[in-house]
Every structure is written in structure tokens, then in C-alpha cells.
């Protein structure tokens, strides 16, 4: 190519922002034009969103202005919403303009997977953006205020959390911590509040170490959470949920954490997807187009047994490292690197001072696990923003 | 009377609480049984409620536990809701018990006066209790969160305040101060927010000094308030208000501050009332029963021109002093005192650092008026709870 190649990165989540940061560090002057496109002018720390959703932390601590992370002399930032990807024309349609690319990185993240459960899309809330968690926090507080006006409406004080995966469990921990404070603030008898978790799988945290799962459920039960495991939600209504067992739970708040599928734009672009996610090759490229990389929640990487790794921040960041390397390799005609997920471990918080996790071959729980969780959060801040960002946002 | 006379005080607002405090100070041991009845176990500082309603102060700063104000060896406190007053039987029906009295003090406060405007009772919010102002605060915040979900719904960001009396004006000042902060918190363009005041009278703050009224409106206009003076509300709907001019204002929030009438239980008790308020004699007694005193918002005292004084905290407290004196005089067979309202002045706050007022013969405005307002608030805390209460709640 005689002119400077154009790289466009869609989405500034874990995958997109780390790719952009790696590129701005490793690319030489005028080696490529890099453009990062994102709906908001901030990046948010998705793994932290369960706290502002429950109101146990300020949403500001879960987001960072993109201008603080990106060197605008090296990477162009476009604040816009992607409407369509046109791989054959190498074009991206934004809501107010069009971008051309030579290389594309898709890191547009996921959408809630509702498994076809009627009403879930309309009547449940999802923990998935700064706006959505601010809404959930306000919604929860509002129910307490409403209850004081209409004290017969116990459904205002009933909170159903659908799904006992990582997000569900971490949110339950925070919500259970917040409830006593809300009860004091609004003069509400804590015994009237119900937090109910409904999970269709035969266990909470499917695939996780059973001993730690039991510990986690014990911690959450002590905080007042009721579990309905191996129980599917049949329908979500404006008044609550109907379970597969026929039980009706009246609740003014239903929070759905039961699953993630890839962004719909990928299938609309003609890429082969499974639940909206693209199975990428070992270099993280789509099988249709060599110049399109897909990373993060909208990609699927298979493990040695041929099963997909669950979408996490950890895998997205490791993908971003390899993706940035391979983009530069493509431009320089050097060798690309194969992606191999290296699991550093997983820690799930259970509210203040409590967590469970597996780090290397060690099981950890309680306070030490909670400390480990904080370290992981701070390590991420360090990766994207160095010491200044750790100092600014790291006091979770 | 051979047995100890029983005094029952209904309501722990300004009138009731000050009466109780005066009685516990002035009565001798075993001279009377005093019982104070109130719906909540706290007294609230009504003149401060416009701040927590707008969210510019914590509701905790607007209330004081009654147990901190009352010496329980001298005054019995009953936390209950009054259902009925039976003057002929000298009995009070509470929701869970019955009380007998020899002397009754009614300080049950007011209710919103809707002047028969349809929909106002159902769809507007009122600044009148801790629960109601917590609701208003949460409701306002919730509209910002909702707007981020549905950005076409400008009515979520339209706030109609009905009435430009003292409560309306003071609330407008706080709300206008809070809006820019909410806009930052929720990433909302401040230009999309509308605060509209609608007042049927030909001027804001009817009866107040015109120069100061003009100053107040100027301050509030600069903060973004739109005034529609001499404009009546024809109807309040779930979607907003319809004005007498035919104009329709779509607003998810309508706060009605347009008037106060007396508690309905007074007319139900067979007392002669005007807008639910009882015209009392010069000793603050009802004309039907010598042993019933009515003070505060549910009483009417006429000025020299035969016109009622507006219901304020100031007049309620002065009435409480005379009421306590006259109760003791009745028990001791000494002379009662006539009530004469002595207007010490009036200050209305207009938000942070701004106020207007008349103190003695001086007009004050701006920062000095705002300081005067704080002094008045602190003086009240001192009257009911001494220095400790001023230190605890006085940092408004």
C-alpha cells in the first residue's frame, strides 16, 4: 500500500480501548491512521458496574474519559453510534458520518441474552452501561420512596435478580449491603424487603468450584438473599415474574443478569455468528474477512475441548494485546501471533469484605479474596491509565 | 378537680412540640398529665423541607427525634395516627387505642388546598412531610435516569411548580440550584431542563413587598426559572398540566405548593371551620368548647382588619407560648393571656446564598438575607432543643 493504512476500532470497552492503547504505543509515526469509535466519550469498567447499580459506589468510579486514555496526536477518537458494518465496501456507517477502513477491529460488546423469555426485554433491567446502572440505582431508591406512600405495596420492596452467574452474584452482594442503609434512610422495616435470586441452571456460578459456590451462597443467604436455583423464569411481566413452577413473584424490580449475546450488528454484517458472537480464527480474524478482527464479548474463542471460554474482561484484554500485535504485523508484513487464553484466575465479590476466587491453583475466600479483587481492579486501571488513574479511581 | 387533669396535644409540629416543651418546663410535679400524640416519632422542621425535596440537603437535617425534645418523665409520647376527635365525649380515637382528655390542644397541621382543580390531588406532589420530600427528591432524580433511557421524552425534564407563595418560591430556588448538579451527574444537557412556575394570583408572593418580589423573580429567572404569573392551572393530568389559557405543559413532575387548608378531622369533629381551619377566640380556644385549643395551620387568627394571618411557623410558635400559658392558667385558675401576633419579619430563601426578607422595618436581600434566614432556622433549633440541637442540625 502506498498510502497510510487506516485502522478503525469499533467500541471502547476492554477489548477496544486496550487495542487502541497498544497501537498508540507500538506504531511508528505515520505507520497507520487509527480511529477509535465509541458511543460515549468515556470508557466504562464493566466489571465494576454491579456496585453503582446497587448504589454502593458512585458511577463516576466506574468510568474514565477516553481523552484521558488516548493520545489524540496518535489516535483519532470519534464519538458516535455505529449503525452498520459493510465489510465488502470496507465502510462503517455511523449515525452522522461514514468511515472507511483497511483494517477493522470489532469490539462492540454484547447485549442481554433473554433466551426467548417473554417480557424480559420490556420489563427487566440490565447491568450493562453507565446509563443503565444509574437507572437501576435510582429505580431501587424510588421503590423505597414509593413504598412509604403506599405501604401495602410489598412488591415495591421485592427485588428479583435473574441469573446467578458472575454479574448476578456480584450484584446480589452489593444489593444486600445496600438494603439496610436504604431501610434506615427511608424508615422501612428491613424484614419487609425481599431479595430473590432465580437461576435456571442446577447451581449458582455454573462451572465454578462447588466448595466456593457453597461458601458464596452461604454469605449471601446470611445477608438476606433467597435463592431459587434450578428454577427457570417463564415470563417477566410489568408486575414481576412467573416461574416455570407456576409460582408468581410480585416485584416492582426485576434485574436480568442471565446471559450475554453478541451485538446484533455482526450478524447483520453477514458474519457467521452463534448467539451473535463470531468464532474467530487463531489470529482473531473472522473467517470471511482477513482484515476484520473481532474481540471481547462479541467474539468466541474455543478451548482445547472445543467449548467457548466465557466472555470476561480478562480474555478481552488478552485478545487486545494479540490483536494490536497482529494489526502491526499485517502492516509491517511480519508474523502474526496466535491467541492462547491464559487464565490468571477469577474472583467474584460478594459485597463488602467478602469474595471468592481461584487464583492459579489456589482457592481463596473471605477478606483475602476481597483484597485480591481490589488488586485485580487496580491492575486494570494501571494497564489502561497508569499510576495516575489508579490513584484517581482506585479507591473502590 | 380532685384527680390530676389530663392534657392531650395532637400533633408535634411547630405548635404542638413547642406547647409540650413549654408545659414540661412550667408545670409543677403532678400538676397535670401531658400526652403528646404524633404520627411519627420525629418532629420535622417544615420550613426546611424545600431543601431535602429538591435534594440540596439531607432529610435528616429536617427532622428531630421527639424523644430528644421531650422529657419522658414529664410528657408521655404516643406514636399513633389520630382517626377521630370526639369533643362531646372528651375522647380521641387513635388507630390502635383511645385517649381521654380534660384539655385538648389540636395542632394537626394542614393539608394541600387544591381549590377544586381536577387531578391535582392524584397527580401532583406536595412538600409536606419527610416521606413526601424524600419521594419528591427520588422522583426528580428518577426522571433524569429515565430520560437517559428515552431521550425523546423531554417531559421527563420538565418540572412544573404550582404556586408562587413562600413554599413555591423557596423550592424553586433549591430546585434551580440542584438541576445543574443533576445534569452533570446524569450527563444531561442543562438546556433541555425546564422549570416552570405557575401562579394564579397577579403576582408572586402575594402581599409581599413588590420591590423584593421583583428581586426574587430576577434571581430565580437568572437560575433558569420560567414564570407564568396570573395564570391558573385548569387541570392536572398524568402527563402534566393544562392551563386556563389552554396551553398544555407536558411534565412528568408537578409539585403543588398553591395552598394549605386545615386538617379534615376538625370539621368532622363538628367544629366550625373555614377551609378546614378553625377561627379561635382570643385565648386560642374553639367557640364550641372551652377546653379545646387550636393552634398552627389548622387555626385562624384574624388581624386588626379582620383578615386571617397566613399560616406560618412563627405564628404557630407564638400561639404555642400562649396556649401553654392558658392551659396552666386554666388548671391553676389564674388569668389566661390574650393572643396577639407580633410579626418579627419574614425571610424567604432563593437557593444558595440568596434570599429576600423584611425584618422589622428593614428590607433585606441577597447574602445578608440568606444569613438572616440561617439565623432564624438556628434560633428555632435553639428554642426546641437548645445548643446541642443547633450544633447537631444547624449546619444547613
Q: How far apart are the first and last CA of chain B?
A: 47
Quote the pLDDT of residue B395.
62
- Which residue is closest to B42 within chain A, CA to CA? A187
User: Is A237 buried (19+), middle (13-18) or exposed (0-12) by CB count in 10 A?
Assistant: middle
Q: Measure the CA–CA gap between B174 and B353, rounded to whole angstroms.
A: 11
- Which residue is closest to A139 within chain B, CA to CA? B142
C-alpha cell at A194: 425481599
Quote the pLDDT of residue B314.
94
B149 touches chain A (CB under 8 A): yes
Smallest CA-to-CA distance from B21 within B364, B387, B384, B388 is with B384
Smallest CA-to-CA distance from A367 within B257, B314, A375, B225 is with A375
Q: Measure the CA–CA gap between B144 and B133, rounded to whole angstroms.
A: 17
Measured from the Cβ of residue A105, the count of other Cβ atoms closer than 10 Å reads: 30
Q: Measure the CA–CA gap between A199 and B301, rounded to whole angstroms.
A: 64
Quote the pLDDT of residue A360.
84
Query: Would you list the DSSP string of B169-216?
Result: HHHHHHHHHHHHHHHHHHT--GGG-EEEEEESSSSSSTTS-HHHHHHH
Chosen from B79, B81, B95, B131 to mutate, greatest number of chain A CBs within 10 A? B131
- Of the candidates A138, A139, A148, which has its C-beta nearest B131's C-beta? A148
Q: Measure the CA–CA gap between B132 and A146, rounded to whole angstroms.
A: 9
Mean pLDDT (chain A, rounded): 94
DSSP class of residue B308? B
B148 touches chain A (CB under 8 A): yes
A275 touches chain B (CB under 8 A): no
Query: CB within 8 A of B223, min separation 6: which ones?
Result: B173, B176, B177, B351
Query: CB within 8 A of A158, min separation 6: which ones?
Result: A193, A194, A196, A240, A249, A250, A251, A252, A253
Query: CB within 8 A of B13, min separation 6: which ones?
Result: B43, B44, B46, B107, B108, B109, B296, B297, B316
Please give the C-alpha separations between residue B364 and each of A36, B118, B177, B347, B372, in angstroms, as whole numbers.
56, 39, 21, 8, 9
Q: How far is B230 from chain A (nearest CA, A)?
A: 32
Q: How far is A131 from chain B (nearest CA, A)?
A: 6
B275 touches chain A (CB under 8 A): no
Q: Measure the CA–CA gap between B302 and B310, rounded to whole angstroms.
A: 9
CB contact under 8 A, B131 and A146: no
CB contact under 8 A, A138 and B148: no
If phi over 0 gives left and psi between -120 and 50 gives alpha, with beta otherwise, what is residue A341? Answer: beta
Query: CB within 8 A of A81, min separation 6: which ones?
Result: A39, A94, A95
B58 touches chain A (CB under 8 A): no
Catalytic: which of B111, B170, B174, B354?
B170
- Of the candidates A131, A148, A186, which has its C-beta nearest B149's C-beta? A131
Where is pLDDT greater, at A163 or A375? A163
Using the CB atoms, write b or e for B347-380: b if 16+ within 10 Å. Answer: bbbbbeebbbbbbeeeebbeeebbebbeebbbeb
Q: What does DSSP say about strands A278-279 and A260-262: parallel, antiparallel, or unpaired? A: unpaired
pLDDT tens for chain B, 396 residues long, are: 458 999 999 999 999 999 999 999 999 988 999 999 999 999 999 989 999 999 999 999 999 999 999 998 999 999 999 999 999 999 999 999 999 999 999 999 999 999 999 999 999 999 999 999 999 999 999 999 999 999 999 999 999 999 999 999 999 999 999 999 999 999 999 999 999 999 999 999 988 999 999 999 999 999 999 999 999 999 999 999 999 999 999 999 999 999 889 999 999 999 999 999 999 999 999 999 999 999 999 999 999 898 899 899 999 999 999 999 999 999 999 999 999 999 988 999 999 999 999 988 899 999 999 999 988 888 898 888 888 888 888 764
Q: Measure the CA–CA gap between A125 and A137, rounded to whole angstroms.
A: 11
Q: Measure the CA–CA gap between A216 and A70, rounded to whole angstroms.
A: 38
A137 touches chain B (CB under 8 A): yes
Phi, psi of A167 (to 5 degrees): -65, -45
Q: Measure the CA–CA gap between B293 and A343, rounded to whole angstroms.
A: 77
pLDDT tens profile A95-140: 999 999 999 999 999 999 999 999 999 999 999 999 999 999 999 9
pLDDT band at A332 (very low <50, low <70, confident <90, very high): very high
Instruction: Give the mean pLDDT of A342-353.
Output: 92
Smallest CA-to-CA distance from A350 within A219, A236, A194 is with A219
DSSP-assigned beta bridge partners for residue A277:
A274
Helices (H) and strands (E) in chain B, counts: 9, 25
Here the ipTM equals: 0.81
Rg (CA), chain B: 22
Phi, psi of B265 (to 5 degrees): -65, -20
- Of the candidates A130, A139, A148, which has its C-beta nearest B135's C-beta? A148
B293 touches chain A (CB under 8 A): no
Q: How far is B278 from chain A (nearest CA, A)?
A: 28
Query: CB within 8 A of B219, min separation 6: which ones?
Result: B173, B350, B351, B354
CB contact under 8 A, B186 and A134: yes
- Of the candidates B135, B144, B149, which has its C-beta nearest A145's C-beta? B135
- Which residue is closest to B144 within chain A, CA to CA? A135
C-alpha cell at A45: 469498567
Q: What does DSSP say about strands B240-243 and B233-237: parallel, antiparallel, or unpaired? A: antiparallel
CB contact under 8 A, A134 and B149: no
Q: How far is B163 from chain A (nearest CA, A)?
A: 23
Checking if the pLDDT of A2 tops 70, the result is no
Q: Measure the CA–CA gap between B318 and B297, rounded to whole angstroms.
A: 13
Q: How far is A32 from chain B (nearest CA, A)?
A: 33
- Of the candidates A137, A139, A148, which has its C-beta nearest B134's C-beta? A148
| Chain B hits for A187, Cβ within 8 Å | 130-131
Quote the pLDDT of residue A395.
62
C-alpha cell at B388: 446541642
Q: Which residue intervals of chain B are DSSP H helices? A: 14-26, 50-54, 120-123, 130-149, 166-186, 210-222, 264-268, 313-332, 367-393
C-alpha cell at A323: 490483536
| Chain B hits for A130, Cβ within 8 Å | 187
| Chain A hits for B137, Cβ within 8 Å | 145
| Chain A hits for B124, Cβ within 8 Å | none
The yes-or-no answer on residue A170 being catalytic is yes
A135 touches chain B (CB under 8 A): yes
pLDDT tens profile A262-277: 999 999 999 999 999 9
Where is pLDDT greater, at A385 or B186? B186
| Chain A hits for B138, Cβ within 8 Å | 138, 141-142, 144-145
Quote the pLDDT of residue B3.
85
Q: Measure the CA–CA gap between B111 and B298, rounded to whole angstroms.
A: 9
Q: Taking the CA atoms of A42, A45, A46 and A48 in sequence, report the sign of the dihedral they define.
A: negative
pLDDT tens profile A194-249: 999 999 999 999 889 999 999 999 999 999 999 999 999 999 999 999 999 999 99
A146 touches chain B (CB under 8 A): yes
- Of the candidates A130, A131, A138, which has its C-beta nearest B142's C-beta? A138
Checking if the pLDDT of A394 tops 80, the result is no
Q: Measure the CA–CA gap between A61 and B104, rounded to whole angstroms.
A: 56
Please give the C-alpha separations between residue B283 and each of B120, B250, B302, B311, B324, in angstroms, as whole numbers.
36, 48, 13, 17, 11
C-alpha cell at A290: 482477513
- Of the candidates A135, A139, A145, which has its C-beta nearest B134's C-beta? A145
C-alpha cell at B270: 363538628
pLDDT tens profile A22-45: 999 999 989 999 999 999 999 999
Q: Measure the CA–CA gap between B37 and B43, rounded to whole angstroms.
A: 11
Domains of chain B by start residue, with CATH: 6-39+80-112+260-334 (3.50.50.60), 115-258+342-396 (3.50.50.100)
Q: Measure the CA–CA gap between B241 and B349, rounded to whole angstroms.
A: 26
- Which residue is closest to B132 within chain A, CA to CA? A149
**B306, B7 Cβ separation under 8 angstroms:** no
Checking if the pLDDT of A363 tops 80, the result is yes
DSSP class of residue A60? G
Q: How far is A140 from chain B (nearest CA, A)?
A: 10
CB contact under 8 A, B148 and A131: yes
Q: How far is A244 from chain B (nearest CA, A)?
A: 30
Q: Measure the CA–CA gap between B159 and B141, rounded to whole angstroms.
A: 12
Amino acid at each position: 500500500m502506498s498510502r497510510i493504512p487506516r485502522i478503525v476500532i469499533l467500541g471502547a470497552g476492554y477489548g477496544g480501548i486496550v487495542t487502541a492503547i497498544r497501537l498508540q504505543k507500538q506504531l511508528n509515526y505515520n505507520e497507520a491512521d487509527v480511529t477509535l469509535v465509541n458511543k460515549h466519550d468515556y470508557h466504562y469498567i464493566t466489571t465494576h458496574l454491579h456496585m453503582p447499580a446497587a448504589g454502593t459506589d458512585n458511577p463516576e468510579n466506574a468510568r474514565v474519559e477516553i481523552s484521558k486514555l488516548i493520545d489524540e496526536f496518535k489516535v483519532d477518537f470519534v464519538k458516535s453510534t455505529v449503525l452498520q458494518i459493510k465489510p465488502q465496501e470496507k465502510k462503517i456507517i455511523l449515525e452522522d458520518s461514514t468511515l472507511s477502513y483497511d483494517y477493522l477491529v470489532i469490539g462492540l460488546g454484547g447485549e442481554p441474552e433473554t433466551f426467548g423469555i417473554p417480557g424480559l426485554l420490556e420489563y427487566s433491567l440490565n447491568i450493562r452501561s453507565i446509563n443503565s446502572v444509574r437507572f437501576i440505582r435510582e429505580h431501587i431508591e424510588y421503590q423505597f420512596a414509593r413504598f412509604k406512600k403506599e405501604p401495602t405495596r410489598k412488591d415495591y420492596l421485592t427485588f428479583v435478580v435473574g441469573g446467578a452467574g458472575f454479574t448476578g452474584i456480584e450484584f446480589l452482594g452489593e444489593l444486600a449491603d445496600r438494603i439496610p442503609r436504604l431501610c434506615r434512610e427511608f424508615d422501612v422495616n428491613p424484614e419487609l424487603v425481599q431479595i430473590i435470586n432465580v437461576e435456571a441452571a442446577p447451581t449458582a456460578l455454573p462451572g465454578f468450584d462447588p466448595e466456593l459456590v457453597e461458601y458464596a451462597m452461604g454469605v449471601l443467604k446470611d445477608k438476606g438473599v433467597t435463592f431459587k436455583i434450578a428454577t427457570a423464569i417463564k415470563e417477566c411481566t410489568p408486575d414481576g415474574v412467573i416461574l416455570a413452577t407456576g409460582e408468581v413473584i410480585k416485584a416492582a424490580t426485576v434485574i436480568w443478569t442471565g446471559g450475554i449475546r453478541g451485538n446484533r450488528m455482526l450478524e447483520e454484517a453477514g458474519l457467521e455468528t452463534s448467539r451473535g458472537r463470531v468464532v474467530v480464527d487463531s489470529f482473531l480474524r473472522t473467517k470471511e474477512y482477513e482484515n476484520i478482527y473481532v474481540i471481547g464479548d462479541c467474539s468466541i474463542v474455543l478451548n482445547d475441548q472445543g467449548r467457548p471460554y466465557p466472555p470476561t474482561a480478562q480474555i478481552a484484554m488478552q485478545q487486545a494485546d494479540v490483536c494490536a500485535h497482529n494489526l502491526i504485523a499485517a502492516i509491517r508484513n511480519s508474523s502474526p501471533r496466535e491467541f492462547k487464553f491464559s487464565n490468571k484466575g477469577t474472583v467474584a465479590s460478594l459485597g463488602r469484605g467478602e469474595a471468592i476466587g481461584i487464583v492459579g491453583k489456589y482457592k481463596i475466600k473471605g477478606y483475602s479474596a476481597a483484597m485480591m479483587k481490589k488488586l485485580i481492579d487496580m491492575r486494570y486501571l494501571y494497564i489502561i491509565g497508569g499510576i495516575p488513574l489508579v490513584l484517581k479511581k482506585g479507591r473502590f
